[in-house]
A and B are shown apart, each in its own frame.
Chain A
Amino acid sequence: MDTINTDLFISLPEITLLCMAMLILIVDLFLNKQNRLIIYGLAQVTLFVGAYLVWGTHNATVEYAYSGLFVDDPLSDVLKLATLIGASVMLVYTRHYMMLRNMFSGEYYSLLLFAVVGIMVMISGKNMLTIYMGLELLSLCTYALVALDRDNAHATEAAMKYFVLGALASGMLLYGMSMIYGVTGNLDLGRISNGLNQMQMQRPDFVKDPVLVLGLVFIVAGLAFKLGAIPFHMWVPDVYQGSPTAITIMIGSIPKFAGFAMAIRLLVQGLDTMFADWQQMLLIMAVLSIAIGNITAIAQTNLKRMLAYSTISHIGFLLLGLMSASLNGFTSSMFYVCAYVLMSLTGFGMILLLSRKGHEAEQLSDLAGLNKRSPWTAFLMLITMFSMAGVPPTIGFYAKFAVLQAALQAGFVWVVVFAVVMAAIGAFYYLRVIKIMYFDQPEDEAPIDAPLDMRLVLSANVMALLLIGLMPQGLMALCAKAIFFTLKGG
């Protein structure tokens, strides 16, 4: 096979998604309102085909395409598969909600598929430019998605905030990249790593070069913004609350895979020489995110805003794993991000399930007495909340456990003690949700209006939280393998 064929073959899933997204845009023009379900079907098929292609081309080796711009390694296979499955689950959750709000349109699906392509490109980016391109594709689609409901003032405001701050963060990231490029003369992350290593060999204090350190600071800041870590978290609560819930679930779930991959690529594969510097930065952000995220969430009465702060604290735990700077730590972070996405899908999925025409179930009081209205739904939310709080036997416990043991192995005993105390404080607001569902009287007696497929997928999703909690070995081993082959095998 000649090079161009190999390149196309390696990036086949992305190309398929891209073509289909454009096809959907065109098909949408010829469909009237009754036949829009075809678009939904096409989008689902696209995601399945994409997942099949990723699955079909996966292997334990590291392959490069487009002269090293694009990489296909076990890490990218696992994360892309997870992204596509997550996106497909998300589409099931959002269909009914979008239909009821006259937002069920071709743009939604094509923008979403473009965003998924952006995520996949970020996951596979082995060059700073590829990563930046993927990031912009994802970000621009997300800004548009937030503003999809034009007449909604809150959503428009959220989109504006998100866009301004997001553009700023992209700028910072790009500025940081340009500084690194200025020092090393390279955009390719593998070459940057080699170059820095060689330079450090010649001059051990090389890593203290102010330009290099400043570049790193800007990159970490951009990364932290995209992940939503404190102190770059200001947009998270506003955007989560202001966006239509069907978009919030998109912002709050699968892009975190891209954020994680970006952190691994930039910090671990590119700037590994400077790990002492980024370890400290991540440590401070992790500690602050865990503390402020958990404490601020207690004061929230809006469920979406509460979940936004809970996301910030989860990101703190994710950073705690990355900060450990060991294979063990990266594996635990990867497990954490998978667990987090599963949990946030169910958390926001539950809001979508309880919302109906003209009513957004986004206040905590909307959950009151849910156990009397629908015991099974309340039980699903119960598992989700205990999982987010990290109570065994749910996946959330193993995620926290894995991260904490990695941080402890790296010697951060007191950070770990601090994190568990904060986790216990955080348990309070999750317990409050359960209290409202189980101990309070219902205010809202309307029957839950949701299609069967959504109920089934949501139930399966929650059962996954419980079953992976009981048998975490499979996912744990998968993450360990992906990280090991990617960072050591290649």
Chain B
Amino acid sequence: MLTDHILSLSIWVPILAGVLVLILGDDSRACFTRWVALLGSLAGFAVTLPLYLLFDLNSGIQFLEIANWIPAFNINYMLGADGFSVPLILLTSFTTVIAVVASWESITDNIAQYMAAFLIMSGLMIGVFSALDAILYYVFWEAMLIPMFLVIGVWGGPNRVYATIKFFLYTLIGSLLMLVAFIYLYHKTGSFHIIDYYKVPLSMEEQIYIFAAFFMAFAVKIPMWPVHTWLPDAHVEAPTAGSVVLAAVMLKLGGYSFLRFAMPIAPDASHYLTGFMITLSLIAILYIAFVALVQKDMKKLIAYSSISHMGFVTLGFFLFSQLGLEGGVVQMISHGFISAAMFLCVGVLYDRMHSRQIADYGGVANTMPIFTGFVVLFAMANSGLPGTSGFVGEFMVILASVKHNFWVAFVAASTLIIGASYSLWMVKRVFYGEVANDKVSALKALNKREFTLLSVLALFTLGIGVYPDVITELTQATSTQFLNHMAVSKLPAVGM
């Protein structure tokens, strides 16, 4: 039955579509190539929908698939999804459609390779979200770097080589240490099955080392302060769709992986290091928000705001409460839509003006009124206005942190003001005031494609803002299970 292989289909349909685009596509048939890619991404999105429709709200990991892969090391092709991964898988396949449509006109050379890179990346990222075998997960996690490396390096901005190599090496060094942790756990348990890792007792020292290895891999990916410096570079140089995928999905891989690996495998170390993690999250939230305030480049500003928002995710996770955990997950999804929309908006401007400098703009509202409406909505959502999805996640995390410690909540909440400042100040400088120059007065209004893209994203942003249960009902059972697991110590009993 096909329904038994939903996750496999979600992974392989976009990858095969990508290969198909590579074979069929060519710059001389640009339009055809784009349509094949769009159909491929839509097919990829369609096959993930059953995950939402057939999801059993009362159980944890489901849609299991298992097959022998490398028996020599007891490595299996094992897939499964729970309340944490299903929303992220849907976000991934949805973002791929957005990415393909977003690069419809702006990419004119090597179209087939470009589109194929996004499709293949989509399948690999879904693989990361659904793998239940550590090596399978690792293969997807690393393989995903290759298309992104090429996307930034081939179609990126002037400083693309520096940015893409930095992106690759930062991620690689962290993930190789994670591989060592996996091998260590393999010799401990005799398998690479993640669920076996959850059960194995580990001493505090082992847990701290394992947590540290995972931390290196995931903190870089999220990214947390102080290993965040690759992100602004990568974002600035990446083409629009590259930034969209990077912000909307790739950062979430780190957050998701904390829930899947670092925390449940080393629960005692996680509790022990709570203070450390919360401090880093708060630094990201507050300090990086200030950094965002002074940026002159719009993409850099949004990149820093992403880091600041991802701080809420890690903060929510390490509060160890249902509210914080679900808030973190909601924040991941909501940030996926909002950051994608923000980068698309910058892309819309960049396609017309070929500049991302705030200083080059001014009074865009006079020539692009509808577009300005969208931007104001997304900027509001970015700063956490009630009624938008940005509010829900942050509010849940702040509520949870009040229970934990008033001052943590105070620092976290203060960023709502700074967030509003940098978002709205940018909007003010770019969109309002006098028309800055002739180029701005010559701006063309949104075309149908751009309008549709932004409307769909606006719909999701408002939809989740008004009815966040769409996500929280998915995560409820899983987060309860997760917290129950986290509450039990894994330290070996004394005297054994």
Whether a CB of chain B sits under 8 angstroms from the CB of A52 is no
Measured CA separation A16–B53 after assembly (Å): 67
Tell me the chain B residues, 107-146 only, with Cβ under 8 Å from chain A: 110, 113, 135, 138-139, 142-143, 145-146
Tell me the chain A residues, 328-344 only, with Cβ under 8 Å from chain B: none
Tell me the chain B residues, 162-212 only, with Cβ under 8 Å from chain A: 164-165, 168-169, 172-173, 176-177, 179-180, 183-184, 186-187
| CB-based contact A439/B173 at 8 Å | no
| Least CB distance, A128 to chain B, in whole angstroms | 33
In the complex, identify which listed stretch (A76-84, A174-182, A397-405) lies at the interface while the others stay far away: A397-405
Measured CA separation A265–B177 after assembly (Å): 34
Measured CA separation A26–B135 after assembly (Å): 55
Whether a CB of chain A sits under 8 angstroms from the CB of B299 is no
Measured CA separation A408–B184 after assembly (Å): 7
**Cβ-neighbour of A391 out of B72, B113, B143, B160 (below 8 A):** B143
Tell me the chain A residues, 393-437 only, with Cβ under 8 Å from chain B: 393, 397-398, 401-402, 404-405, 408-409, 413, 416-417, 420-421, 423-424, 427-428, 431-432, 434-435
Residues of chain B lying within 8 A (CB to CB) of residue A409: 187
Map CB proximity to B onto A358-392 as digits: 1 under 8 Å, 0 otherwise. 00000000000001000100000000001000011
Residue of A nearest to B209 (CB): A413
Residue of B nearest to A391 (CB): B142
Whether a CB of chain B sits under 8 angstroms from the CB of A308 is no
Residues of chain A lying within 8 A (CB to CB) of residue B70: 398, 472-473, 476
Residues of chain B lying within 8 A (CB to CB) of residue A427: 168-169, 172
**Cβ-neighbour of A416 out of B139, B153, B183 (below 8 A):** B183
| CB-based contact B179/A401 at 8 Å | yes
Measured CA separation A421–B213 after assembly (Å): 12
Whether a CB of chain A sits under 8 angstroms from the CB of B71 is yes
Measured CA separation A41–B74 after assembly (Å): 44
**Cβ-neighbour of B146 out of A386, A398, A404, A421 (below 8 A):** A386
Whether a CB of chain B sits under 8 angstroms from the CB of A480 is yes
| CB-based contact A421/B173 at 8 Å | yes
Residues of chain A lying within 8 A (CB to CB) of residue B142: 391-392, 397
Whether a CB of chain B sits under 8 angstroms from the CB of A438 is yes
Given A439-B154, A473-B71, residue A404 in contact with residue B179 (CB < 8 A): yes
| Most chain A beta-carbon contacts within 10 A, residue among B149, B160, B165, B179 | B179
Whether a CB of chain B sits under 8 angstroms from the CB of A168 is no
| CB-based contact B71/A391 at 8 Å | no
Residues of chain B lying within 8 A (CB to CB) of residue A404: 179-180, 183
| CB-based contact B138/A480 at 8 Å | no
| Least CB distance, A468 to chain B, in whole angstroms | 11
Whether a CB of chain B sits under 8 angstroms from the CB of A23 is no
Residue of A nearest to B138 (CB): A392
Residues of chain A lying within 8 A (CB to CB) of residue B150: 438
Tell me the chain A residues, 454-490 only, with Cβ under 8 Å from chain B: 472-473, 476-477, 480
| Least CB distance, B163 to chain A, in whole angstroms | 11
Measured CA separation A454–B435 after assembly (Å): 62
Tell me the count of chain A residues lying within 8 A, CB to CB, of chain B.
34
| CB-based contact B139/A397 at 8 Å | yes
| Least CB distance, A467 to chain B, in whole angstroms | 14
Whether a CB of chain A sits under 8 angstroms from the CB of B69 is yes
| CB-based contact B180/A420 at 8 Å | yes
Whether a CB of chain A sits under 8 angstroms from the CB of B73 is yes
**Cβ-neighbour of B139 out of A392, A421, A434, A438 (below 8 A):** A392
Measured CA separation A115–B110 after assembly (Å): 46
Residue of B nearest to A428 (CB): B169
| Least CB distance, B5 to chain A, in whole angstroms | 18
| Least CB distance, A394 to chain B, in whole angstroms | 9
Whether a CB of chain A sits under 8 angstroms from the CB of B49 is no
Residue of B nearest to A473 (CB): B70
| CB-based contact B180/A417 at 8 Å | yes
| CB-based contact B161/A439 at 8 Å | yes
Residue of B nearest to A476 (CB): B72
Residues of chain B lying within 8 A (CB to CB) of residue A416: 180, 183
Residues of chain A lying within 8 A (CB to CB) of residue B165: 428, 431-432, 435
Residues of chain B lying within 8 A (CB to CB) of residue A375: 113
Map CB proximity to B onto A93-108 as digits: 1 under 8 Å, 0 otherwise. 0000000000000000
Measured CA separation A473–B135 after assembly (Å): 14
| CB-based contact B176/A420 at 8 Å | yes
Residues of chain A lying within 8 A (CB to CB) of residue B69: 473
**Cβ-neighbour of A431 out of B71, B168, B179 (below 8 A):** B168
Measured CA separation A417–B173 after assembly (Å): 10
Residues of chain A lying within 8 A (CB to CB) of residue B71: 473, 477
| CB-based contact A435/B153 at 8 Å | yes
Between A and B, 9 residue pairs with Cβ closer than 8 Å are A393-B139, A401-B179, A408-B187, A409-B187, A432-B165, A434-B153, A435-B153, A439-B154, A439-B164
Q: Other than A391-B142, A408-B187, A421-B173, give 6 A-B pairs with Cβ distance below 8 A.
A: A393-B139, A401-B179, A435-B164, A439-B153, A473-B70, A476-B70
Q: Which 6 A-B pairs have the closest CB atoms?
A: A420-B176, A392-B139, A424-B173, A476-B72, A405-B183, A439-B153
